[in-house]
Amino acid sequence: MTLTTFALIRHGQTDWNAQRRLQGSTDIPLNDTGRDQARDAVAVLSGYEWDAIVSSPLSRAAETADLIAAGLGLSVARRVPELTERRFGPAEGLQAGPELDALRIPNGFRGAESEDEAACRGLAALEGLAEEFRGRRVLVVAHGTLIRVSLGRAVARTLQSIDNAVLNLAHHHAVDGWQLEYFNGERVVAAVQG
């Protein structure tokens, strides 16, 4: 059985994360805490051998990937536009409150990419990487909502929010599909043999 292993890492913290603002596709950079989180992630990730590192092109994910790659003595293969965070439209930059509530519709916000659209886009990107890197280990740095909805669709489970710069480890098999081994740094199934 040929397995492709994915580490799916949410970028480190940004000021908007700390302020609990919706970021979406707005390009907000890492803050110092986020840079420290990216460097700290290296300790867990160094327990594996990685064949490739890819990331979203948004600066918070790209910088997280660059910091992790430097810590692992690797380089980032490329930025994958399809791994950009879900677009929240006019809700981006807002915090919980009346202004955000006024934009709410079932499963999202007016003028935003739907959760289903984001899940389809993200999972298609991951399946493309699984085909390209079949049987190898790929480290993907992207965004919380995109990882949550894409991975949730892949394993047919509703997942909680994704923590910054922690290990989410999933395995892909062309016939048997996806299996989640670690979520938010915690083991969820027994290790998979490949």
Contact 53, 83 (CB under 8 A): no
Q: How many Å is the Cα radius of gyration of the chain?
A: 16
Residues with active-site annotation: 11, 85
User: Between β-strands 186-187 and 177-183, what pairing exists: parallel, antiparallel or unpaired?
Assistant: antiparallel
User: In whole angstroms, what is the distance from residue 56 CA to residue 69 CA?
Assistant: 14
Classify burial at 184, counting beta carbons within 10 Å of its beta carbon; exposed 0-12, middle 13-18, buried 19 or more: middle
